[in-house]
Amino acid sequence: MTFLSPDNLRLSNSLAVSFLALFFLASAIVRMFIFSYVGKSHWIGGMENGYFSKEHGNFTNKLAKMFMKLCERYATRSNVRGYTYNDEMRGQAILQLTQIVLQFDEFKSNNPFAYYTAAVTNSFVRVINIEKKNQNIRDDILEMNNFNPSYTRQSNHEWQQAVERHKKKD
């Protein structure tokens, strides 16, 4: 008797089908007894007479206006308002907020304002770092072609030379 005979294949196929059916039945039974908890933001009413609301998980126009106001207000802070790419930072922050708007977990924190403000801060810092990297690349290209780099690069170079001169005097 070989393992690849037609009788053994039929037997192994029926065993595999039986095993799969048993697995799905067992997983369905386990799912029946696991209680899922609905977030406070999606539940309306009390525990006995309440229900799950689909509308509470949506991104509303009012919330969008609040996010735009948050980004606009953050862009006027003293440490970011002088950048020439302030509009780009605001746009990136609004885009980031629209991506994470429904990811706030009310079980971890009860302060969504801090969560969204941290996202705006990180978005502004990310744009500043990207622009700084782009400026360094542009300045390197200008220096390689014997042109003057940006004022920031020139003043940093002058500052480093002054520090070196001061160290030589001491």
Q: Residue 43 pLDDT > 90, yes or no?
A: no
pLDDT digits (tens, 9 = 90+) for 118-141: 999 999 999 999 999 999 999 999
Q: Say whether both 42 and 64 belong to one domain.
A: no
B/e letters for 2-12, b = 16+ CB within 10 Å, e = fewer, are eeeeeeeeeee
Q: At what angle do helices 86-100 and 112-144 cross, to 10 degrees?
A: 140
Q: Say whether both 17 and 63 belong to one domain.
A: no
Domain stops at, among 14, 29, 52 = 52
CA distance 43 to 46: 8
pLDDT digits (tens, 9 = 90+) for 139-157: 999 999 999 999 989 998 8
- Mean pLDDT for all residues in the chain: 79
R_g of the chain, CA atoms, integer Å: 30
Q: Say whether both 42 and 97 belong to one domain.
A: no
Paired with 63 in beta bridges are none
pLDDT digits (tens, 9 = 90+) for 55-111: 666 778 898 999 999 999 999 999 999 999 999 999 999 999 999 987 888 888 889
Residue 1 placed within a domain:
no
Q: Is 167 helix (H, G, I), strand (E, B) or coil?
A: helix
* pLDDT of 145: 95
**What are the C-alpha distances in Å from 34 to residues 26, 30, 49, 94, 129?**
13, 7, 21, 38, 46
Between 26 and 72, name the one with better pLDDT: 72
Domain of 130, in residue numbers: 59-169
> With the C-alpha atoms ordered 95, 83, 81, 110, is the resulting torsion angle positive or negative?
positive
